[in-house]
Amino acid sequence: MDLTSKIILISGPTASGKSNFAIKLAKKINGEIINADSMQVYKEFHILTTRPNHKDYQKIRHHLYGFLNVTKKFSTGEWLKLCEQKIKEIQSRNKVAIIVGGTGLYFKALTDGLVKIPTIPLTTRNKIRNLQKKLGQKKFYLKLLKLDPKIKDKIVETDTQRSIRAYEVKYYTKKSLYDWFENTKPKYQGNLFFKIYIEYPRAELIKRITYRSEQMLKKGAINEVKKFLKLKIKRDNSSNKIIGISEIKEHLQNKSDLKEAHEKISIKTRQYAKRQSTWARGQMLSWNKINSKDLQKFLKKI
């Protein structure tokens, strides 16, 4: 199997061993690794986001990890621009670009192109969010169907976030969200990508998540959160979405002990892994699904 002419994409649920597998693959095919995890871009969070460590960086060259201050906002569009630059640089060195992470939207932007919807004013967005709260999701969804019939069979009634997004796009731009999608062109041809999705047995993944959460707390995640809280970052900053911040904050405020914090982090991480898997089933139909037990067999075939 010759992968040297491809751009390799590696995804999978959190704690599935994507980073370690990417390093092994990079060694075999003379590759360099690009981050596709929206939380691993922040330099202040090394432990809590389980970024590759210094030894990993010595083995293989890594890009777009820990380069952004948590005070900065960072969009999918900004990531895509940087990623495309890194792919070009890596290929200019006659190496293979290996993109690894768990942020599905990053991969979708890379493979399908980025939808260039005009910026919707905050006042409009707040107005629609308030409308959704006032009506409730069921009535809001029916109102959305009347406003934009194209969303039928594409957004389920219970998907609050996507419903609000579809509503605000149609309301402000007068075009359906799916009209914007149809007019979006990807930069790369589909056959340039080789896509790998790592599947892990649910019970085994839960054990890995529990162990990893425990190790985070032992290795300094609490100090990372202490430093973060001193910065007084605004609530709407995406760095606040990092799993573990709110749970450790409660512990520091003596609202929970360390055992409870560990349990809450583990539960939230399991829930996130489940959402990742659900998203992948609907969005990553063309990906090569590889069971975690078969990763070594795959490496031997290359």
Alpha-carbon radius of gyration of the chain: 20
Report the alpha-carbon distance of residue 15 to residue 273 in Å, rounded: 8
Q: Region 240-266: what's the mean pLDDT? A: 96
Residues in contact with 262: Cβ distance below 8 Å, sequence separation at least 6, in sequence order = 213, 214, 217
**Structural domains of the chain in order of their starting residue, each with its CATH number:** 7-115+186-200+277-301 (3.40.50.300), 122-182 (1.10.20.140), 203-275 (1.10.287.890)
pLDDT in tens, 175-225: 999 899 888 888 898 899 999 999 999 999 999 999 999 999 999 999 999
72: number of Cβ within 10 Å: 12
Report the alpha-carbon distance of residue 211 to residue 224 in Å, rounded: 19
Report the alpha-carbon distance of residue 212 to residue 1 in Å, rounded: 33
Structure-block tokens of residue 95? 């190496």
Q: What's the pLDDT score for residue 81? A: 96
pLDDT in tens, 28-82: 999 999 999 999 999 999 999 999 999 999 999 999 999 999 998 898 999 999 9
Look at residues 195, 198, 215, 202 and name the one whose alpha carbon lies nearest to residue 265. Answer: 215
Report the alpha-carbon distance of residue 45 to residue 51 in Å, rounded: 8
What confidence category does residue 285 fall into, taking pLDDT thresholds of 50, 70 and 90? confident
Q: Region 261-272: what's the mean pLDDT? A: 96
Look at residues 255, 256, 259 and name the one whose alpha carbon lies nearest to residue 214. Answer: 259
The angle that helices 137-147 and 122-135 make with each other, rounded to 10 degrees, is: 120
Which pTM was predicted?
Answer: 0.84
Q: What's the pLDDT score for residue 207? A: 97
256: exposed, middle or buried (Cβ count in 10 Å: 0-12, 13-18, 19+): middle
Span between the terminal Cα atoms of the chain, in Å: 5
Q: Mean pLDDT across the chain, nearest whole number?
A: 94
β strands within the chain, DSSP E: 7-11, 31-35, 62-63, 96-100, 193-199, 288-291
What confidence category does residue 154 fall into, taking pLDDT thresholds of 50, 70 and 90? confident
The bridge status of strand 288-291 relative to strand 193-199 is parallel
pLDDT in tens, 5-35: 999 999 999 999 999 999 999 999 999 999 9
β strands within 26-184, DSSP E: 31-35, 62-63, 96-100
pLDDT in tens, 113-128: 988 888 999 999 999 9
Report the alpha-carbon distance of residue 59 to residue 65 in Å, rounded: 15
Amino acid at 243: I
% the chain with pLDDT above 90: 79
Task: Judge contact between 186 and 9, C-beta under 8 A.
Answer: no
Task: Judge contact between 238 and 73, C-beta under 8 A.
Answer: yes
Q: What's the pLDDT score for residue 222? A: 98
Task: Judge contact between 102 and 37, C-beta under 8 A.
Answer: yes
